[in-house]
Amino acid sequence: MTTISGLIGAPIVFGKWMPKDYIPVIFDQEDFHAKFDKDPGLVVLNDKPWNAEAQAHILDDKVTPASRMFVRNNGLIPQNIDVNEWTLKIDGESAESTKTYSLDDLKKFPKYTYQLTLECGGNGRSEFNPPAKGNQWTIGAVSCASWTGVRLKDILQNVGVKEDAVYVGYYGKDTHLSGDPNKDPISRGIPISKAMMEETLIAYQMNGEDIPLIHGYPLRLVVGGWPASASGKWIHRLSIRNKVHDGAKMEGSSYRVPCESVAPGEKVEDENMCIIESMPVKSLITYPKTGAIVKSPTLDIRGHAWAGEMSVTNAHYSIDFGATWQPCELEKPVNRLAWQHWKGTVSFPKKGYYEVWVRATDSSGQQQPMVIPGWNPKGYLNNACHRIAVKVV
């Protein structure tokens, strides 16, 4: 008891009632923000495993800093990483050979840098009704950082890809929550066509520095525009498969939605669920923060918009609950699969309460819906318009 008090730094006043072998809660709460160097504007949703999302206003930067990037973990973060020992093995039924690369070997291949939008497939899940199980993401499970590394296709070609290749699956070094070393927390992948795209990277840097541990140090896949679950962290093995990869969380309803739309709450058989590929068009208002009090009849607003595998062709705002829409100014993406920045100046007709809504349109003409789109059992792909509250005083 006295040793525990010592560790806590204070006497345990009712310590005589504390059960034997009891672990005081204080030892069970780690300070996420201090531990992972995160902005206080990141909201923790879960601690085992760590999951945290950004509030919209902290995503105002054009390139998301590490401190403001959401965190999604399915298992436990690997410990004691030795980069000198780290290797990436490429194998699989459709690999011409099996090769193992050290980080130095990988760095000898041409190096590329792209800004890539990563959005969790479940971003927006909290709004579905009936509710879907899983992290109750609101709007902040999205980021667009600058990633540097080698093209996945250069490595695949170095190994040799057989004609029957269908998929590339990843394996990370994180551990399953059960602690069972034979179970993977997640092992997803992408079709060979996406793997061969120029922007699909095996990254060893983020924003010009080593990738932070929690985001996949020292090596991660970065697959822009697709559910971020495809972007395997801490990767040590990639498998070139002659069928759709069958790793953990590839099957059943994980990262799948009904192939045909269903009524809310309807039971959907696994065979009627399709794997999510490109993410839908979406946007965020990153300035001002919702709840802003404005003392002038005009207000500058800004944010980002993205459209999965496509680009965004325009963005509009509405201050009358979607009755009328005004165009925003929209920048072109710095590269394919990077989010785009929009801005506008709102004129309020008089003092009072307003909501500002923003709606992006993708290059195929699809617009964000104003209300929650197609219900699905796991609550994926909610791309409804983001709204903020503004009081003009």
Ligand X SMILES: Nc1nc2c(c(=O)[nH]1)N[C@H]1C(S)=C(S)[C@@H](COP(=O)(O)O)O[C@H]1N2
Footprint on this chain of ligand X (rule: CB under 6 A): 69-75, 120, 143, 172, 174, 185-186, 215, 228-229, 231-234
Q: Which helix (H) or strand (E) holds 2?
A: helix 2-8
- Using CB distances below 5 to 8 A depending on partner kind, what does residue 172 bind out of Mo ion, ligand X, none? ligand X
- Using CB distances below 5 to 8 A depending on partner kind, what does residue 319 bind out of Mo ion, ligand X, none? none
Kindly state the smallest distance separating residue 52's Cβ from Mo ion, in Å. Answer: 12
- Cβ closest to ligand X, residue 72 vs residue 194: 72
Q: Which helix (H) or strand (E) holds 33?
A: helix 32-35
* C-beta nearest to Mo ion: residue: 120
Kindly state the smallest distance separating residue 274's Cβ from Mo ion, in Å. Answer: 17
**Could you tell me where the DSSP H helices lie in 59-183?**
103-107, 152-159
- Cβ closest to ligand X, residue 78 vs residue 369: 78
State CA 164 to chain mean position distance: 30
Kindly state the smallest distance separating residue 249's Cβ from Mo ion, in Å. Answer: 9
- Cβ closest to Mo ion, residue 229 vs residue 361: 229
- Using CB distances below 5 to 8 A depending on partner kind, what does residue 383 bind out of Mo ion, ligand X, none? none
Q: Measuring CA to CA, how many Å separate 123 from each of 73, 130, 174, 186, 276?
A: 14, 16, 22, 18, 13
Kindly state the smallest distance separating residue 363's Cβ from ligand X, in Å. Answer: 24
- Using CB distances below 5 to 8 A depending on partner kind, what does residue 124 bind out of ligand X, Mo ion, none? none
- By CB atoms closer than 10 A (0-12, 13-18, 19+), residue 317 is buried
For residues 325 and 317, the answer to whether their CB atoms sit within 8 Å is: yes
Q: How many residues does the chain have?
A: 393
- Cβ closest to Mo ion, residue 45 vs residue 120: 120
> In whole angstroms, what is the distance from residue 233 CA to residue 245 CA?
17
- Cβ closest to ligand X, residue 138 vs residue 361: 138
> In whole angstroms, what is the distance from residue 382 CA to residue 373 CA?
6
Q: Do you find a cis peptide bond into 218, omega within 30 degrees of 0?
A: yes
- Using CB distances below 5 to 8 A depending on partner kind, what does residue 234 bind out of Mo ion, ligand X, none? ligand X
Kindly state the smallest distance separating residue 93's Cβ from ligand X, in Å. Answer: 22
Kindly state the smallest distance separating residue 44's Cβ from Mo ion, in Å. Answer: 16
Of 158, 166, 163, 171, whose CA–CA distance to 99 is shortest? 158
- Using CB distances below 5 to 8 A depending on partner kind, what does residue 186 bind out of ligand X, Mo ion, none? ligand X
Kindly state the smallest distance separating residue 7's Cβ from ligand X, in Å. Answer: 31
> In whole angstroms, what is the distance from residue 380 CA to residue 46 CA?
18
Q: Give residue 56's identity as a one-letter amino acid code.
A: A
- Using CB distances below 5 to 8 A depending on partner kind, what does residue 73 bind out of ligand X, Mo ion, none? ligand X
- Using CB distances below 5 to 8 A depending on partner kind, what does residue 373 bind out of ligand X, Mo ion, none? none
Kindly state the smallest distance separating residue 80's Cβ from Mo ion, in Å. Answer: 26
- Cβ closest to Mo ion, residue 73 vs residue 368: 73
Helix (H, G, I), strand (E, B) or coil at 156: helix
Kindly state the smallest distance separating residue 49's Cβ from ligand X, in Å. Answer: 7
> In whole angstroms, what is the distance from residue 59 CA to residue 261 CA?
32
Of 234, 227, 208, 97, whose CA–CA distance to 147 is shortest? 208
* C-beta nearest to ligand X: residue: 172
Helix (H, G, I), strand (E, B) or coil at 151: strand
List 210's β-bridge partners, or say none: 205
- Using CB distances below 5 to 8 A depending on partner kind, what does residue 128 bind out of ligand X, Mo ion, none? none
- Cβ closest to ligand X, residue 21 vs residue 82: 82
Report CA torsion sign: 314, 367, 72, 102.
Answer: negative
CB atoms within 10 A of CB 48: 10
Kindly state the smallest distance separating residue 177's Cβ from ligand X, in Å. Answer: 10
- Cβ closest to ligand X, residue 210 vs residue 266: 210
- Using CB distances below 5 to 8 A depending on partner kind, what does residue 231 bind out of ligand X, Mo ion, none? ligand X
Interacting residues toward Mo ion by CB under 5 A: 72, 120, 229
- Cβ closest to ligand X, residue 153 vs residue 233: 233
- Cβ closest to ligand X, residue 60 vs residue 174: 174
